[in-house]
């Protein structure tokens, strides 16, 4: 079912909750049960019927976040697909998250209810009004325990601020503001105010014929509430400081790797388009994902990345067909682990890759039911590019390009990862004693 395709995955700040958004506009939140320990990368099969086991994630809440809309004035169909979910840090008993489709950002409150008042005077237990004439005594309603109910309510709707399609949202470290970015503009919002937002970046040219690049992703610095970055379709990243001016059209830093002109081809610009940008937890580095590589940049060095990792370089000889089937425009995300020592990103054939920045070792794993039984250890995979295919290797020509892992998430402090493979969610845990 198309509506079930997962379009975003995000852990909250403690890792206790995991939210997924799908193409049908629904959000499903999973909650982790009690702690557990083990060893090796094991598979935790996700199923609603599963007996609750410690350390595993179970469905906590599910709700319809966005509905499809049609803008009649512009003849524009607005998809309900959830593009991004971002959690707010927890400040009270309730959980708050932002979810966005192409045009509208919503703040959702997810709260638990495990008590309910009983013994009303004016209505009976079913809620029907009592005939006042029959009321002869007064009683004080008391709170009685009830089965846990988790409710999600929309608390704010931030609409009508984006002409183009929203690709990113990012909660600021001040926890009072957040930004939303579309193809040409970035807006700054205050959580309390829905009818106004500040435009902080606008790259729309006066003449659309002169359009050469669009904004592809944006994120606030994890600690400095005045700093944010945004990436472009030309493979560049700009860092902006909001203290410099109200409109941050002039960047503070500009990150671009010089291209060897002799390497240029028709595909150069398309494959250099950055599909995701993420600050490291330390705030010192940014990671970018373009079609074939993941790069780590030091904020102090703008002229080239400090590390480049090849995700699936064998696709270089397939660019023609990847262009024809539109796969070349797939937007892969990338994530850091909690200590910024390992980075992860997805690929095709339900493969995903992890790169250890310290040991320089990398591994390719597969997220699929056929190849992993629950509690089994994931076997590393290998793609063979030459003629001689070893047993257990997959040849480039037999890769399934419809099975793409675009969205992954890493627990903020533990080695637990969530991998979205089309309409299946896999959660893997590295159980280390």
Footprint of another protein (CB under 8 A): 2-3, 67-70, 74-80, 102, 164-165, 183-184, 208-209, 211-214, 233, 257, 260, 263-270, 292-293, 295, 304-310, 313-314, 316-320, 323-324, 329, 355, 360, 362, 385-386
Q: Which is nearer to another protein, 54 or 264 (CB)?
A: 264
Q: Which residues pair with 11 in a beta bridge?
A: 18
Residue written as token pair 């904020």: 299
Greatest Cα pair distance in the chain: 93
Q: Which is nearer to another protein, 67 or 151 (CB)?
A: 67
Q: Which is nearer to another protein, 150 or 384 (CB)?
A: 384
Min CB(93)–another protein separation in Å: 35
- Cβ burial of 158 (10 Å; 0-12, 13-18, 19+) is buried
Min CB(1)–another protein separation in Å: 10
Q: Which is nearer to another protein, 166 or 242 (CB)?
A: 166
Min CB(197)–another protein separation in Å: 20
* HSE of 224, CA atoms in CB hemisphere, 13 A: 15
Q: Which is nearer to another protein, 156 or 389 (CB)?
A: 389
Min CB(344)–another protein separation in Å: 14
Min CB(274)–another protein separation in Å: 13
Q: Which two tokens stand for residue 325?
A: 């089937």
Q: Are 5 and 22 in contact (CB under 8 A)?
A: yes
Whole-angstrom distance, CA of residue 411 vs CA of residue 336: 9
In eight-state DSSP terms, residue 378 is: P
Q: Can you point out the beta strands (E) in 299-431?
A: 307-310, 334-336, 342-346, 351-356, 362-366, 382-384, 393-395, 407-410, 416-421, 424-430
Min CB(309)–another protein separation in Å: 5
In sequence order, what are the residues at sequence separation of 6 or more whose Cβ sits closer than 8 angstroms to the Cβ of residue 202?
A: 184, 185, 186, 247, 249
Whole-angstrom distance, CA of residue 378 vs CA of residue 367: 9
Q: Which is nearer to another protein, 143 or 211 (CB)?
A: 211
Q: Which is nearer to another protein, 124 or 260 (CB)?
A: 260
Min CB(277)–another protein separation in Å: 17
User: Which of 169, 277, 177 is CA-nearest to residue 224?
Assistant: 177
Min CB(367)–another protein separation in Å: 23
316 C-beta neighbours (distance < 10 Å), count: 15
Give the number of residues written for the chain. Answer: 433
Min CB(281)–another protein separation in Å: 21
Q: Which is nearer to another protein, 309 or 348 (CB)?
A: 309
Q: Which is nearer to another protein, 23 or 281 (CB)?
A: 23
Q: How far is CA 382 from CA 166, 391, 393, in A?
A: 36, 10, 5
Q: Which two tokens stand for residue 322?
A: 């990847």
Whole-angstrom distance, CA of residue 283 vs CA of residue 84: 21
């Amino acid at each position: 079912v198309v509506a079930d395709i997962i379009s975003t995955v995000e852990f909250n700040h403690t890792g206790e909750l995991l939210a997924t958004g799908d193409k049908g506009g629904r959000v499903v939140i999973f909650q982790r049960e009690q702690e557990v320990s083990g060893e090796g990368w094991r598979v935790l099969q996700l199923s609603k019927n599963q007996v609750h086991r410690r350390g595993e994630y179970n469905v906590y809440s599910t709700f319809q976040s966005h509905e499809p809309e049609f803008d009649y004035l512009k003849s524009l169909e607005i998809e309900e697909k959830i593009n991004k979910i971002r959690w707010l840090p927890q400040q009270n008993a309730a959980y708050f998250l932002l979810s966005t489709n192409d045009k509208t950002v919503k703040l959702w409150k997810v709260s638990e209810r495990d008590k309910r008042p009983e013994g009303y005077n004016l209505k009976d237990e079913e809620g029907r009004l009592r005939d006042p004439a029959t009321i002869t005594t007064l009683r004080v309603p008391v709170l009685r325990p009830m089965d846990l109910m988790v409710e999600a309510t929309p608390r704010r709707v931030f609409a009508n601020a984006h002409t183009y399609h929203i690709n990113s949202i990012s909660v600021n470290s001040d926890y009072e503001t957040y930004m939303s970015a579309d193809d040409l503009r970035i807006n700054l919002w205050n959580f309390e105010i829905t009818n106004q937002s500040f435009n902080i970046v606008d790259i729309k040219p006066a003449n659309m014929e002169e359009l050469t690049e669009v904004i592809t992703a944006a994120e606030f610095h994890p600690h400095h509430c005045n700093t944010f970055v945004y990436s472009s379709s030309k493979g560049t990243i700009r860092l902006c400081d909001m203290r410099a001016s109200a409109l941050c059209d002039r960047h503070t830093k500009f990150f671009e790797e010089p291209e060897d002109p002799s390497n240029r081809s028709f595909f150069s610009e398309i494959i250099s388009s950055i599909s995701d940008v993420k600050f490291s937890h330390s705030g010192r580095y940014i990671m970018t994902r373009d079609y074939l590589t993941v790069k780590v940049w030091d904020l102090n060095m703008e002229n080239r990345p400090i590390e480049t990792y090849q995700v699936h370089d064998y696709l270089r000889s397939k660019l023609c067909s990847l262009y024809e089937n539109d796969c070349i425009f797939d937007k892969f995300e990338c994530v850091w682990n909690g200590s910024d020592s390992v980075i992860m990103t997805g690929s095709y054939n339900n493969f995903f890759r992890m790169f250890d920045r310290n040991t320089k070792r990398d591994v390719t794993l597969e997220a699929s039911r056929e190849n992993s039984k629950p509690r089994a250890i994931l076997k590393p995979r290998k793609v063979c590019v030459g003629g001689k295919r070893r047993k257990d290797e997959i040849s480039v020509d037999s890769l399934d390009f419809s099975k793409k892992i675009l969205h992954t998430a890493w627990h903020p402090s533990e080695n637990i990862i969530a991998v979205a493979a089309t309409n299946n969610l896999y959660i893997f845990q590295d159980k280390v004693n």
